[in-house]
Structure 1
């Protein structure tokens, strides 16, 4: 299991938090996603044999946020 923190721009409320967490946890290989609105990031635990950083960033961007 790998843990990474992804910077996410544009999140400001609980809806944003839920949208990003749901988009990530729906990916095969992501076990947890925990958004920190104050820090503007999401901590993700995932299996790097099943999902890539690119996949996760695309899932975030599909929700309308900028993943860095």
Structure 2
């Protein structure tokens, strides 16, 4: 299953890496990508979307599922 999040606050490749690391720390995530130009993150796996949003928000960005 693919989950796409809208992520506000990413402005560079380093931000993308921080968001990916936060997402990959969530149980059930197989892989994650982030793109600061489109303000999105895509997650493969069966993680709860709410858990993904919380992880990104805890990393200092603003996410919505």
Return the TM-score normalized by structure 1. Answer: 0.88
Aligned residues: 64
Structure 1: segments with no counterpart, 5+ residues: none
Larger radius of gyration: 1
User: Which structure 2 residues correspond to residues 29-44 of structure 1 after superposition, within 5 A?
Assistant: 29-44=28-43
How much is the aligned-residue C-alpha RMSD, in angstroms?
A: 0.8
In 2: Cα distance, 1:6 partner to 1:13 partner: 17
Return the TM-score normalized by structure 2. Answer: 0.91
Structure 2: segments with no counterpart, 5+ residues: none
Q: Deviations over 1:4-24 (max 9, x none)?
A: 110000000111111100011
